[in-house]
Amino acid sequence: MPKPKTDAPKFEAALESLEEIVGAMENGELPLDQLIERYEEGMRLVKICQEKLAEAEQKIEIVTRAAEASAAVPKADGPALF
C-alpha cells in the first residue's frame, strides 16, 4: 500500500532551508518584518525536522528489537543437544 503524499519537505531539504534561514538571520541585514517571517518559517522547519528524526528513531528501535528477538530465538534446524 503506497504511503500518502504529504507537503512536508524531506529532512535534508528542511535542514538545508533551516541553515539558509539561520545564515540570513545572522547576517543582520534583514528588515524586522522579514526577520519575523523567516523566524516563523524556521520554527516550522524545526518542527518538521524533529518529527522526521522521531520517526527515524522509532524505525531504528523497531529494527533493533526485531534483530535482537531473532538472535535470541534458537533455530530449530540445528543439531539436537539431548
Contact residues for 72 (Cβ-Cβ < 8 A; gap 6+): none
Helix (H, G, I), strand (E, B) or coil at 29: coil
Domain 11-70 has CATH 1.10.287: yes
Whether the Cβ atoms of residue 48 and residue 14 lie closer than 8 Å to each other: yes
Over the stretch 39-66, which tens digit does the pLDDT of each residue have? 999 999 999 999 999 999 999 999 999 9
Alpha helices in the chain (DSSP H): 11-27, 32-72
Q: Where are the domains of the chain?
A: 11-70
Under the banding of pLDDT at 50, 70 and 90, the label for residue 72 is confident
pTM reported for the whole predicted model: 0.70
Whether the Cβ atoms of residue 38 and residue 30 lie closer than 8 Å to each other: yes
Whether the Cβ atoms of residue 49 and residue 11 lie closer than 8 Å to each other: yes
